[in-house]
Amino acid sequence: MSFTIEEAVQVLSQKFLLQKGVVGVSHGSKELIIYVESEEAARKIPRTLMGFPTKTIVSGKFRVLSLPEAKAGRTIAGTLVNRALRLRPIPGGVSSGSLKVGAGTNAGRVIDKTTGLKMLLSCYHVFLGDVGDPIIQPGKLDGGRYPDDVIGYIERFIEIKPPPETNIIDACIARPVSQDLVSEEVLDIGIVNGIQEAKVGMKVKKSGRSCGLMEATVMDTNATIKVDGYSFGEAIFEDQIITSFFALPGDSGSIAVSADTNAAVGMIFAGSEVLSCINKITNIVQLLNIDIPKSAAPPTLPPTAAAYVLMPLFTGFLLLLGAKTQT
Amino acid sequence: MTQITIREAVIMARREFLPIKGVVGVSSIGNTIIVYVETPETASLLPRTYYGYRVEVRVTGPIVTLP
């Protein structure tokens, strides 16, 4: 009695997947493919099974790819908050997403230049959907639910195109359900102070759902890169910033700011084990027709740094006062 | 032969190198062409210079979205 290769896979799946060390069964055009955890498990697989040659692939254990646990972040007022919790008003740097994704990061408040209204910014692969689709905070994998946690609806985005076409940004804005719902601050960063071009060697920091606050160095400012993870596979992006590693899954949508000026230089959207990739903020504001205004207040400084700046000024003021009093 | 500019060389390098499996990015810094690759093996497929410009290879691993 002979079997087709598909029938052989069905039979062997029931038998082999119960066997310790075997993690998958499949087939090529003329051979059976057995995925195993280790070389030791591979040695136990016969060279032929049910009349078909076998090919063994040592794949290790398959695991569900889950998001890392969210990092806590600090507000300007000094309160420590969990980025994966429901937060109102909504600061930048916290878990968010559409109903089609697990969770990414809400970059923060931007201004729609066509209406003057506050909008929420993130990557399109985080705020994924059609115009009018709901956005929730926290994201679905962090427990956000429809309709209780809806914070806004998709307003505008730039469609990601497959090769050979190229892309510049992976970005989307959502109109909040209420203008009062949007906080001006980004956790651990404070208020973003306008926009600025990135330069090679510049120190940048970002505040994201998964890694929290991290700093990196700009390595490249005009890269063309292939990025995997879209519904159609790889997409090509031009005019990108590359930095040293500072983002994990769940950090897409984090705003990256200059460590010196707190001005936005871009938004994190991709990365590898050793580097992170950022859409330029100049391209985002132009293509989405939005603005990130300069902050009226100076960039937030931690109390110790503020003391270092203010103390000499205060001392100088006292000396001046003393000098005037003497004359 | 007229020397092409680094900008022109990068445009040509993108067309030539990006279709290679394992090449994930092309850029330039100063007068050096930067090629990002997934593994060190891919580096052997790339020239050391391209139209007279030095080629620097950086191994990054695959680049993926971070949702």
Statement: residue A17 has pLDDT above 90: no
B43 in contact with chain A, both atoms CB, cutoff 8 A: no
**Closest approach of chain A CAs to the CA of B47, in angstroms?**
18
Q: How confident is the model at residue A304 (pLDDT cuts 50, 70, 90)?
A: very low
User: CA A76, CA A189: separation in Å to the nearest integer?
Assistant: 8
Burial B28-44 (b: 16+ CB within 10 A, else e): beeeebbbbbbeeebbe
Complete domains list, chain A, with CATH: 5-58 (no CATH), 61-218+230-296 (2.40.10.120)
* Choice between A311 and A119, residue whose per-residue pLDDT is larger: A119
User: What residues of chain A lie within 8 A of the CB of B65, using their CB?
Assistant: 123, 125, 170, 227-230, 252, 269-270
Cα angle A67-A71-A75, degrees, rounded to a multiple of 5: 140
A1 and A7 Cβ atoms separated by less than 8 Å: no
**Closest approach of chain A CAs to the CA of B20, in angstroms?**
11
Statement: residue A26 has pLDDT above 60: yes
Statement: residue A243 has pLDDT above 50: yes
**Closest approach of chain A CAs to the CA of B54, in angstroms?**
16
Residue of A nearest to B61 (CA): A272
pLDDT at A311: 40
User: CA A11, CA A249: separation in Å to the nearest integer?
Assistant: 37
User: What residues of chain A lie within 8 A of the CB of B67, using their CB?
Assistant: 97, 101-104, 123, 125-126, 229, 249-250, 252
Distance (Å) of CA A11 to CA A3, A17, A42, A196, A236? 10, 10, 19, 61, 42
User: CA A226, CA A276: separation in Å to the nearest integer?
Assistant: 13
Q: What's the pTM?
A: 0.78
Dump pLDDT digits (tens) for A179-212: 999 999 999 999 999 999 999 999 999 999 999 9
Q: How confident is the model at residue A1 (pLDDT cuts 50, 70, 90)?
A: low
B62 in contact with chain A, both atoms CB, cutoff 8 A: yes
